Amino acid sequence: MLQDIRDKSQGIVVKVIIGVVIVTFALFGVEALVQSFTSTDTVAEVDGKEITRTQLMQTAETQRRQLISMMGGQIDPAMLEESALQRRALEELIQRAVMTNQAQALNLGVSDAQVDAYLLQAEQFQTAGQFDQNKYLNFIRSLGFTPLAFKERIKQDVLLQQARNAVVGTEFVLPSQVNTIVTLQNQKRSFEYIRYSLADRTESVSVTDSELQAYYDDHSNDFTTPEQVKLDYVLISSDDLKASVQVSEAELQEAYQATVAGFEGEEREASHILIDTSSRSDADAEKLLAEIQQKLADGESFAKLAEQYSDDLGSKDNGGDLGYVTRGIMVEPFEDKLFSMNEGDVGEVKTEFGYHLIKLNKVHETQAPTFEELRDELTAEVKAQKAKDKLLDEHENITDLAYASDRLDALANEYGVSILTTDYFGRDGGLDDVSGAPAVIAAAYSPTVLQDNQNSDLIELSDDEVVVVHLNDHKDEAKQSFEEAREAITSIVVQQKALEQLNKEASQAIATGEGNWVSVELAERGQDDVAGVAFTLPHPQGTDAVTSVEDAPNGDVLALRLTQVIEGDSEVSESQKDIYYNYLSQTLSNMTLTAQQATVRNNAEIERN
């Protein structure tokens, strides 16, 4: 079906429609276009307010770009699947609609001037403290917004924040609540325990084939080979375009001038003695500095004094030697002083690190490398940058070629690269850079590639590489045979038997009191993993210890006897109380806000189409 559409998309009628689309984009922006075609395509209604499919797709795409931007290669590919993105996007749109309706019912509002002020002051849109229009436009384009749509989104965000602030601002924390938290945090517990190692026990546990078979028969549905795909792909990198890039003499000269513009014509060999002011007062530092200067005046060696007095551990053992210094290496006051001195001088300067006595040992004049000396290096750098720029320019052509065919041949031939093939991989990705890229994984399991057998869109792996993928083969999830699952079954059964034995031994130790019990007196909360488990047990009643068999965080089994709980002291420093206060305030505010939003949502009429 898709191929038919492509075949018929060359007609004069289609070209006229495309012309109208271009004019619409140019005059009114993307909002006018999508509204005219999809305004009646409603996916949900919230108290009569429509949520359109266009809004859903735009929100899903924005979420996709944000996830990739924030998490990069660490993102779970399942989060980029279209169905998952659309579910999350719909829930976000519904929640925003619910809260927007509430804000409007409260007669809250936001002016365009407020939004403009917010955007002008936002740090992410500033360069050198001033609003940067290019940075602003690049940012909103990276999220898939037009300027008008982004401004409307910010206006809604500010509106919703007003409602949230109104709720959060009503929350408060009582001193008694802070004291309770402090008391619990400072509580101490005495207990006894025996630790049974799961790892050690699994080494000695044996299982029979009949036990393994029985487990497989009862849990065969748990053992499956996951769904997998194999992809063909075309990888186009900036390196592939270098052969077609020409570098002119003028471009090389421009690059050379930029390289040598900041070249420092001299370097200075220096030594110094640092008097640190972080561990002593300025008065003490100045007194020590005067003492060293007097010894220098009396003829003592600068190097010997550096070894004796300097607080710079990196240079003191070498007589304070800093080697050759050029501008841009040291802090500015140090460099300004050093480069104002004459050879053999000793000068004094104060920096953020303390007081320095600087000795200028030698001035060495240096010459910038010649153009011919740098020619090869400059040629490689300019060619690499031009190839990267050309790859960016080729994005549109790559996208067109990928869309225009059901195969990758045309794309491979156009750029003189080979069609490569991945190994099979599941929805968690493969081991190489291509099949392991979240965007590639999402594309591989998208309906376009997996079901329609079409090429993917262009996928950026980095600034230097893009890829287009095509399905080579697909394997559905399949049940594993007993032999295929044997290794996994063995691991499960061995661990189960080991835990069963350890739990039995721990229960017996508690019942009899026998065993190598370890006694811990007045342990603090979070002291170690065993104490962490002990702090989950209820208080002992009277003189009877609380006994329990518990799992340690690493899987070991613990036999525990909690013998004493000592209530903590509620007296702590004011700074520590402030920390607890802020924690409680934030926690309670979040709980109140969550409950309020849930109440508003539950009272709303929500219809999903």
- For the segment 103-112, the average pLDDT, to the nearest whole number, is 86
Per-residue pLDDT reduced to its tens digit, 446-473: 999 999 999 999 999 988 999 999 999 9
**Could you give the CA distance from residue 549 to residue 474 in angstroms, rounded to a whole number?**
48
Helix (H, G, I), strand (E, B) or coil at 607: strand
CA 523 vs. chain centroid, Å, equals 36
Average of pLDDT values for 99-116? 86
Q: Which residues of 314-384 form beta strands (DSSP E)?
A: 321-325, 346-351, 354-365
Q: Which of 429-433, 490-494, 592-596 reaches the highest mean pLDDT?
A: 490-494
Q: What is the mean pLDDT of the chain?
A: 86
Per-residue pLDDT band for 262 (boundaries 50, 70, 90) equals: low
- Is the pLDDT reported for residue 136 higher than 80? yes
Taking 70 as the threshold, does the pLDDT of residue 265 lie above it?
A: no
- Max mean pLDDT range (98-112, 279-293, 303-317, 505-519): 505-519
Read off the pTM: 0.53
Give the number of C-alpha atoms closer than 13 A to the C-alpha of residue 480, restricted to the C-beta side: 17
Q: What pLDDT is attached to residue 14?
A: 34
How far apart, in whole angstroms, are the C-alpha atoms of residue 113 and residue 123? 18
Scan for tokens 């059901």, then name that residue.
406
Q: What is the mean pLDDT of residues 132-143?
A: 81
Residue 34 banded pLDDT, cuts 50, 70, 90: very low
Nearest to 522, CA basis, from 531, 533, 513, 510: 531
SS3 assignment, position 118: helix
| DSSP-derived pairing of the beta strands 188-196 and 557-566 | antiparallel
At residue 542, does pLDDT exceed 50? Answer: yes
Query: Which residues, listed in sequence order, are joined to residue 547 by a DSSP beta bridge?
Result: 561
For residue 12, pLDDT over 60 is answered with: no
Local confidence band at 73 (pLDDT 50, 70, 90 cut-offs): low
The string of DSSP letters for 194-231 reads EEE-HHHHHHH----HHHHHHHHHHHGGG-EEPPEEEE
> In whole angstroms, how far apart are CA 468 and each of 227, 300, 447, 485?
21, 72, 15, 35
HSE (CB half, 13 Å, CA atoms) of 424?
Answer: 9
Assign 550 a pLDDT band (cuts: 50, 70, 90): very high
- The size of the chain, in residues, is 609
Q: How far apart are CA 158 and CA 479, in angstroms?
A: 52
Q: d(Cα 125, Cα 130) in Å, to the nearest integer?
A: 8
Is the pLDDT confidence value at 66 over 50? yes
| pLDDT tens readout for residues 190-249 | 999 999 999 999 999 999 999 999 999 999 999 999 999 999 999 999 999 998 999 999
Could you tell me where the beta strands, DSSP code E, fall in 266-329? 266-276, 321-325
Residue 4's pLDDT is what? 39
> In this predicted model, which residue has the larger pLDDT, 503 or 544?
503
Cα 458 to chain center, whole Å?
24
- How confident is the model at residue 35, as a pLDDT? 41
Q: Do 605 and 47 touch, CB atoms closer than 8 A? A: yes
Identify which has the larger pLDDT, 136 or 423: 423
Tell me, what's the pLDDT at 579?
A: 86
Give the per-residue pLDDT at 501: 96
Sign for the pseudo-dihedral over CA of 19, 20, 22, 23: positive
Mean pLDDT throughout 53-77?
Answer: 77
Residue 8 pLDDT > 90? no
Burial (CB count <10 Å: 0-12, 13-18, 19+), residue 440: buried
